[in-house]
């Protein structure tokens, strides 16, 4: 069974026209979700709480797109540290 993990996170941006966080240490990690629908619901809930702050943004990261399980491991993944 393939999992399609999604990470929902957000924080205050330096400029609302760019995707640069003002304080990376203050990023709000909402959570990891097993599918897009549940991630979207979480994203929407958090985004609506901060609708009055133009500098606040929440995002959905498609974690499953970052890793291809069929591809060979990179040299750093093979290190046993």
* Each residue's pLDDT tens digit, 58-81: 999 998 877 666 666 555 555 454
Whether this prediction's pTM lies above 0.95 is answered by: no
Q: What are phi and psi of 65, to 5 degrees?
A: -80, -15
Quick check: 37 pLDDT over 90? yes
Q: Rounded to whole angstroms, how far apart are CA atoms 8 and 6?
A: 7
Average confidence score pLDDT of the chain: 87
Residue 66 is encoded by which pair of tokens? 């970052």
Structural domains in the chain, CATH included, are: 1-18+31-71 (3.30.70.2400)
Q: Which residues pair with 7 in a beta bridge?
A: 32, 61
Strand 56-62: give its sheet, edge to edge. Answer: 28-33, 6-12, 56-62
Quick check: 11 pLDDT over 60? yes
């Amino acid at each position: 069974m393939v999992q399609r993990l999604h990470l929902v996170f957000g924080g205050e941006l330096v400029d609302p026209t760019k995707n640069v966080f003002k304080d990376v240490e203050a990023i709000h990690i909402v959570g990891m979700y097993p599918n897009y629908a549940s991630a979207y619901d979480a994203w929407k809930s958090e985004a609506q709480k901060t609708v009055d702050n133009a500098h606040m943004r929440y995002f959905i990261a498609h974690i499953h797109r970052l890793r291809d399980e069929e591809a060979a491991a990179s040299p750093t993944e093979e290190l046993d540290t």
